[in-house]
Amino acid sequence: MVTESDIEHIAELADIGISKDEVPEFTTQFNAILDYFEVLDTVQGESAPAVGITNVFRDDEPRPCLPQEAALANAGSTEDGFIKAPRVM
Amino acid sequence: MAGTLQFSPDDRYNAFITTCREAPFGDGALAGTAVAVKDNISTAGIRTTCASRILESYVPPYDAHVVGLLREKGAAIVGKTNMDEFGMGTTTETSAFGPTRNPADPSRVPGGSSGGSAAAVAAGLVPMALGTDTGGSIRCPAAFCGIVGLKPTYGRVSRYGLVAYANSLEQIGPMARTVEDVSRLMSVIARYDPHDSTMLDRPYDHQPSAEIKGLRVGIPEEYFGEGVDPRVAGTVRDAIGVLEELGAETVPVSIPGMRHALAAYYVICTSEASSNLARFDGVRYGPAVDTRKSWHEAYQDLRLELFGTEVRRRIMLGTFALSAGYAGRYYAKAQVARRNIKEDFERAFCDADVIAGPTMPTVAFRLGEKTDPLSMYLSDILTVPANLAGIPAISVPCGRVDGLPVGLQLMGRQFEDERVVDAAFAYEQEVRA
């Protein structure tokens, strides 16, 4: 059972903005979905070992990549060849 | 011969987000053939929105591997098709560019999330299209619109350039009006790509064959049970009868893990989505964030404004399912359920060569009919097992209920895409004759 304050906390963790009037609806829907997920409590078996799966490695060699201009082409905000992000501090 | 294709379709069903009025094409097996591409597959120079406002003006600087292959074989990329936002949905109603309508009945949805691709093919605007299938997103709209759609074996088609949503489940695949065209498109896109480390080098070079004498067709009881419209089940049973007349034999099989499939699927896909969609923060692509605000405040405001409700709901569900204290209960259990289903299929394929059942439990819904997310999720019950197990599955039209198309789903062993194509081809040839 998740509460409205849980929903606000999850939205915060996920960096998903949530408006005040959405909170009750999201809470109801979450609880219905989580109720349904309870069927997983009846799954038999402890863990799922990776069977027949191998890593695919390659040598770490420099290869051609996107030119700086193309890499910046879709950024909404740039400065001196860099992408501008919001302040962290 | 190379040239330019003029493309100005009457898009009354809102199948396209972007169309290319003048589409260049080259020489090759698909020379001059109009191919529509789902809008979550990158096309250099053609905007790729994933049906989301957050990518409304994003123009990829490179082609997805499959798009490069299409161009190499001479196809004309004529447009980008409508879809559920980031592939999250079963109806194409969550698109930020408005819903697509079903050409078989415009008051109904085309299915999702590759609904635009299915509608473009069904309406005759293009002969073939690419879709993507994470939990049934090629097969569902193929069934609802009355066309053919193939979800290839996981790892058979490169996902390089596909905007990832749930990458352990999703595959790019072909959609067309006939099995033969689906097979033709598959042979173009299933080529090795070193950019995708989950890919195996198993090119598809196959001419469909209608010879299915002795084919063992497994019938899982779980595919005809509760929640499946009896008229849909009956139509599909009749179609299986056609396969028997052609010399196939039916055997009962069981996928007991089905009861966990849907919950496992939604835990895994939302978990992967919560990680994959973290990149949409408006910094490297998309509109600029407000740099006067703080990091979290700026992202939250932008994502509230530009992500649709279903996308935000799934990111939050995934964040919750992976959070400390719950990951063992949800994500770890879902992975066990996934392995159990894979083993169920392996057992079933000891007795059967292909497994047959309905693609969707009902015919196409009316627009706006499904408002509750859980009831929408429940309609994916018959398609998600193939994605969890990574096996190939095709949907081929097999009749109508209330005038609306019904799809026969045929699933095969890993890397036996050719066999499901042949079984679908045999059925199609017989009913068309």
Cα B153 off chain centre by? 12
Minimal CA separation from B178 to chain A, in Å: 35
pLDDT tens-place string over residues B64-115? 999 999 999 999 999 999 999 999 999 999 999 999 999 999 999 999 999 9
Residue B11 predicted with pLDDT over 90: yes
Residue type, B139: R
CB B209 within 8 A of CB B422: yes
Of A16, A29, A40, the CB nearest to B303: A16
CB contact under 8 A, B295 and A14: no
Average predicted confidence (pLDDT) for chain B: 97
Choosing from B42, B52, B113, B114, the catalytic residue is B113
Residue B91: count of CB within 10 angstroms of its CB: 29
Q: Looking at residue B86, what is its pLDDT? A: 98
Interface pTM, i.e. ipTM: 0.93
Q: Nearest by CB to B336, which of A45, A56, A58?
A: A45
In B, which residues are within 8 Å of A58 by CB distance?
Answer: 194
Q: Is B113 a catalytic residue?
A: yes
Higher local confidence (pLDDT), B324 or B311: B311
* C-alpha pair distances (Å), A82 with each of A89, B119, B299: 19, 42, 19
Q: Which of B280, B303, B307, B381 to mutate to test the interface with A (most CBs of A within 10 A)?
A: B303
CA B33 – CA B45 distance, rounded (Å): 20
- What pLDDT, on a 0 to 100 scale, did the predictor assign at position B226? 87
* Distance between CA atoms of residues B309 and B303, nearest Å: 10
Residue B166, phi-psi category: left (phi > 0), alpha (psi -120 to 50), beta (remainder): beta
Which pLDDT tens digit goes with each residue over B371-390?
999 999 999 999 999 999 99
Mean pLDDT of A75-86: 92
Tens of pLDDT along A43-78? 987 766 666 777 878 899 998 889 999 999 999 899
How many other C-beta atoms can be found within 10 angstroms of the C-beta atom of residue B407?
34
Question: What is the interface size between A and B, counted as CB pairs within 8 Å?
Answer: 157
Judging contacts by C-beta atoms under 8 Å, the chain A residues touching residue B198 are: 56
Cα–Cα distance, B70 to A27 (Å, whole number): 45
Does A4 contact chain B (CB < 8 Å)?
no
Instruction: pLDDT band for B217, please (50, 70, 90 cuts).
Output: very high
The span from the CA of B191 to the CA of B41, in Å, is 16
- B73 counts as catalytic: no
Can you give the pLDDT at residue A50?
63
Range B47-71 burial, b when 16+ CB lie within 10 A, else e: bbbbbbbbbbebbbbebbbbbbbbb
With an 8 Å Cβ cutoff, are B264 and A40 in contact? yes
Count Cβ atoms below 10 Å from residue B224 Cβ, excluding itself.
Answer: 18
How close does chain B come to A52, measured CA to CA in Å? 12
Q: Count Cα atoms within 13 angstroms, Cβ side, for A21.
A: 0
Q: Is B294 a catalytic residue?
A: no
Mean pLDDT, residues B158-162 taken together: 98
Are B336 and A36 a contacting pair at CB < 8 A? no
- Burial, B406: exposed, middle or buried (Cβ in 10 Å; 0-12, 13-18, 19+)? buried
- Strands B128-133 vs B34-38: parallel, antiparallel or unpaired: parallel
